[in-house]
Structure 1
Amino acid sequence: MSWKYTLDLLESYTFECIHVHQNHNHKGIPQDQCDNLIECEILPNSIKEQAIQYYIEGFTIRQIQSMLSANDDFKISIEKLYNVVEYYAKTHSENFTFDRIISSECHHTNAIIEFDRALMRFFITDLSRIEMWQKLQDVILIDSTYKVHESFRSAVFILTVDPYGSNYVLAMALTKKETENNYSWIFMNFLKHFQSPQVIFVDRNQAQYNALSDKFRNSKIIFCLWHIQRNLITYLTPLHISWSEFKKYWYTLYHSQDAKTFNINWSSNW
């Protein structure tokens, strides 16, 4: 699965379709009347009928958009297409919800997307990542990237490392707030699809650490070396130690490739 495609999917449907639907009443019209407004009336009837037929046949909204926009002389936006199909679904007493849109898209991409009802949190993975984890199950790395989107405060990437040192993204999540509750929700969804790892490497985020300690009670949680090294300068410099000597010993330990080598280096240098 393309992670860019998945993010595009979320962007299109969350920030266009849902917001367009929720903001129909920008003219002050009561919501119950707004639900019957069809912004797509400017579309030719033949196009609307074809879109509905594709919908009945089981095509996703994105696929319908692609098929209807094949002609360079005519383009249809996602939001107008959403309104066409939404109106058909409502008038035929169908349950047309965000759940259905996402479920339909996932069926065609092997994606697995979990989300809360307020659309504040998303968890994304796919079947190939789950199958990959069945062969590893040793180590995961968790890293949060700050301010990835104007609507989401953080993207949380969950990766693993194979025996050859290559990194692979197992899952990612989007959240509007970096709270312990939101991290717990993310890790709960991870455990729905993946078994607990033996070791988890994390950065120094207290909310994340608290949630990990609760959800992964049998895993060893370790702070990553990058954050440890950053803190070395902060906390050791005031001690007025010989920094050059310390760095020499530190990197000797850092480059130990196994437990035996580490123990030898530790005993000889300390």
Structure 2
Amino acid sequence: MVRFYVSEEGIWTAKNSVETHNHELAKPDDQHLLRSSRHITEENATVLKSMADAGIRTVNAFSYLSEEVGGVENLGFTKRDAYNYIQKERRAKIENGDSNSLIKLFKNRAAEDNLFAWDVQTDEKDRLVNFFWVDGLGRVDYDCFGDVIIFDTSYRLNKYNLVCAPIIGVNNHWQNIILGMAFLSDETIDSFCWLFQTFLRIMDNKHPITIFTDQDQAMARAIELVFPNTRHRLCQWHIQKKAPSKVWCFNS
């Protein structure tokens, strides 16, 4: 541990240094489990993708690669890394026909509703990965009832495993109202930042006062970056759902 003092002029001065490590270092046999040591090479990624496209299960592809290098410890990544990579590839590949149909639908809706707004995000290969839309009623409702919003990512689509991410509010009759709808390919900081920034831009840069979400670190970081003055609160339902598995005495 090193502690620094930074002056108003931006000069860094080392104030304290502790050279001893506070836990045992990983044994050589366990190094492949460290996040910093895990990496899927381009060659292994190609094999994983080819085998998945051929209908071979990810667990079998992982076993094949580990046998080729003489064991899991020599592979450089874990089985979970392999599953995450395959899922990411599947999520990113929204078929062109579906992408074109979706954009055509958005354009038609925008022609019928002057307040209808939408946006999509593509990756480096120009594949559609995230998209968001809101109709005229949602924009009017947000202007009236946008003080508190609820953001929930509990559900997914079957075909592409996309995250269903509605932005919900409550009107003066205590009814749930949809303020916007998004589908995301993953739950990363970048995806959440893109969504929140798009939402703000479409909603004339009006920030909510409070946002309720579940306990997701990537989501919390994105809210901190995009909604710095918004109060972030956790959903009580999610807390009660998780409590029995985290705190044993909660069951009694």
- TM class by smaller structure: 0.5 to 0.7
Confirm or deny: 8 A CA contact 1:152 1:175 kept in the other structure: no
Q: How does 1:174-189 map to 2 (within 5 A)?
A: 174-189=183-198
Shift of 1:101: 7.0
Shift of 1:17: 3.3
**Higher alpha-carbon Rg:** 1
- Give the corresponding residue for 2:176: 167
Confirm or deny: 8 A CA contact 1:153 1:178 kept in the other structure: no
Distance in 2, Cα, partners of 1:147 & 1:241 = 29
Three-state SS of the structure 2 residue aligned to 1:157 is strand
Structure 1 pair 127/232, CA: closer, same or farther in 2 (3 Å)?
same
TM-score (norm 2): 0.53
Deviations 1:228-269 (A, max 9, x none): 1123323332xx4794xxxxxxxxxxxxxxxxxxxxxxxxxx
Partner AA of 1:125 in structure 2: V
Structure 1 pair 16/120, CA: closer, same or farther in 2 (3 Å)?
closer
Q: How does 1:36-185 map to 2 (within 5 A)?
A: 102-110=106-114, 111-117=116-122, 118-185=127-194
Equivalent residue pairs, number = 152
Structure 1 pair 165/154, CA: closer, same or farther in 2 (3 Å)?
same
Structure 1 pair 234/149, CA: closer, same or farther in 2 (3 Å)?
closer
Structure 1 pair 129/192, CA: closer, same or farther in 2 (3 Å)?
same
Q: Percent identity?
A: 24
Structure 1 pair 143/242, CA: closer, same or farther in 2 (3 Å)?
closer
Structure 1 pair 160/101, CA: closer, same or farther in 2 (3 Å)?
closer
- Give the corresponding residue for 1:197: 208
Distance in 1, Cα, partners of 2:246 & 2:223 = 25
Structure 1 pair 16/196, CA: closer, same or farther in 2 (3 Å)?
same
Structure 1 pair 153/241, CA: closer, same or farther in 2 (3 Å)?
closer
Q: Which runs of 5+ in 1 are unaligned?
A: 1-13, 22-77, 79-97, 244-270
Distance in 1, Cα, partners of 2:134 & 2:159 = 22
Confirm or deny: 8 A CA contact 1:196 1:219 kept in the other structure: yes
- Give the corresponding residue for 1:216: 227
Select the structure that is richer in helix.
Answer: 1
Shift of 1:115: 0.5
Confirm or deny: 8 A CA contact 2:117 2:202 kept in the other structure: no
Structure 1 pair 212/16, CA: closer, same or farther in 2 (3 Å)?
same
- Give the corresponding residue for 2:245: 234
Distance in 2, Cα, partners of 1:170 & 1:130 = 7
Three-state SS of the structure 2 residue aligned to 1:116 is strand
Structure 1 pair 100/241, CA: closer, same or farther in 2 (3 Å)?
closer
Distance in 1, Cα, partners of 2:187 & 2:221 = 12
Confirm or deny: 8 A CA contact 1:154 1:176 kept in the other structure: yes
1:17 has 2:97 as partner: yes
Distance in 1, Cα, partners of 2:141 & 2:186 = 30
Partner AA of 2:160 in structure 1: S
Deviations 1:205-243 (A, max 9, x none): 221111111111111000001011123323332xx4794
Distance in 1, Cα, partners of 2:163 & 2:217 = 15
TM-score (norm 1): 0.50
Q: Which runs of 5+ in 2 are unaligned?
A: 1-93
Distance in 1, Cα, partners of 2:187 & 2:242 = 22
